[in-house]
Chains A and B, each alone.
Chain A
Amino acid sequence: MHLDPPATMPQRHTHSAGPLRADGSRRALRVGLGGPVGSGKTASVAALCRTLRDRWSIAVVTNDIYTREDAEYLLREAVLPPERITAVETGACPHTAIRDDISANLEAVEHLEETLHPLDLVLIESGGDNLTATFSKGLVDVQIFVIDVSSGDDIPRKGGPGITTADLLVVNKTDLAPHVGADLAAMAVDAERQRGDLPVVFTSLTSDDGIREVADWVTAHLSEWRVKAAV
């Protein structure tokens, strides 16, 4: 066995948890968006891009179940220029690509950082998955879990790592609540019971500026991140 002494092996390229890139410059804040199929992750990403793109330099990584579906939606909607959107293939296991083996996503993020430097914000959208899908801390700095009222107002009560531990829980499609008989107040109570002090935001992306609260939350984290990186 001839393992080299760890002191001679800088760890800087093996993970990217620190706020600085290898050259000492500040890297972008990485925000993960996860949640079940159809809850509005891609629509949230699109709305965030439209709201924040004038102020910040943004890029997006999508993790499609079938390659490029979400990336192409974002391209069609022209929320960002094509070179700012990258799709990662997940081999039929979207949760693996954001949690257990994050290498392809890290590569995509780092490639965007290299080619679009300086970048302020990278949004990483998971493939539509189940309630247990969360992002590795090696991949994202903060994560948002997106559910919607039409999939059942008992979802917050069911919990799961996404609901209970995400830094922000977004309950989307509130405009549909009366049509599907969803009790928003009960959802809020259940969410608070599961999450304690962690924030919950109710959104309807069909209304003007419906993403505002989420965008403000991201902006607050971004500002904090920049302060930390400047120290």
Chain B
Amino acid sequence: MSRAALLLLADGRFPAGGHAHSGGVEAAVAHGAVHDTESLEAFCLGRLHTTGLTMAGLAAAAAAGHDPLLLDDAADARTPVPALRAVARRLGRQMMRAARATFPSEDLELLAAERPRGAHQPLVLGLAARAAGLTALDAAYATAYENVSGPATAAVRLLSLDPLDASGLLARLSPDMDAVATAAARAADRVTTEGVDALPSASSPLLDIIGEQHAAWTVRLFAS
């Protein structure tokens, strides 16, 4: 395997559409829940341990070679609101385009053919990691990191926060990312014996609610 491939996959500049999404931060800023570095950190921490853990589990399971179609259903079951399902599939399509060009593999081709309108993004990322020869844990790390780095970057743009504060915040969350990625990979290990129910299913109802509301805004900077 090439560990460098993980850096490529986790890089915010990887052209897979993520830059246009705030991970719920735009809506949270509008509600006043996120207004400075401290509240952003609380937001990211909450997101990481709920949605982030769930997505990292799906990514790890896909990277471990479990059936992506079963995982796609499992992702739907773990994404209760229609707006965020649509976002996950749209980002999955965009990730698929980038992944097929960057880490071509038969697994990606098969999933693209089965889900032409897009599979949930974490599984596509997991398959891309697999194609690059990375491990389930690597895929979980990439997803966990993306889960907080995306909102942090968006908040810098929305609130004109000091970008150095945002990077400091991400560094402080490193132990939590370690814990989430490790838990996600361990859960993915258990899928063979226990099925997809072994995967984390943590959710954040407030993220779901504001995500659905945000989709109905007529004026917004971010797609989600």
Task: Mark A residues whose CB is within 8 Å of B.
Answer: 1-4, 6, 8-9, 11, 13-15, 65-69, 88-93, 96-97, 100-104, 106-107
Contact = CB atoms under 8 A, between A and B. Distances in A.
Interface string B9-22: 00001011111111
B108 to A, nearest CB: 9
A107 B18 CA distance: 14
B64 to A, nearest CB: 14
Interface in B173-224: 217-223
A67 B133 contact: no
A89 B154 CA distance: 13
A1 B105 CA distance: 12
Contacts, number: 95
Contacts of B17: 101, 103-104
A8 B218 CA distance: 44
Secondary structure at the B interface, as helix, strand, loop or mixed, is loop
A3 B131 contact: yes
B158 interface: yes
Contacts of A88: 20
B84 to A, nearest CB: 15
Contact of B15 (A92, A93, A103): A103
Contact of A15 (B101, B218, B222): B101
CB-based closest 7 A-B pairs:
A14-B101, A1-B133, A91-B20, A9-B104, A103-B94, A101-B15, A89-B223
A11 B133 CA distance: 20
A92 B157 CA distance: 7
A95 B14 CA distance: 15
B97 A103 contact: yes
Given A2-B133, A6-B104, A11-B101, A91 B21 contact: yes
23 contacts: A3-B133, A4-B131, A9-B105, A9-B109, A13-B97, A13-B112, A14-B101, A15-B101, A66-B220, A66-B221, A89-B221, A89-B223, A91-B21, A92-B154, A93-B19, A93-B20, A96-B19, A97-B19, A101-B16, A102-B15, A103-B17, A103-B97, A107-B97
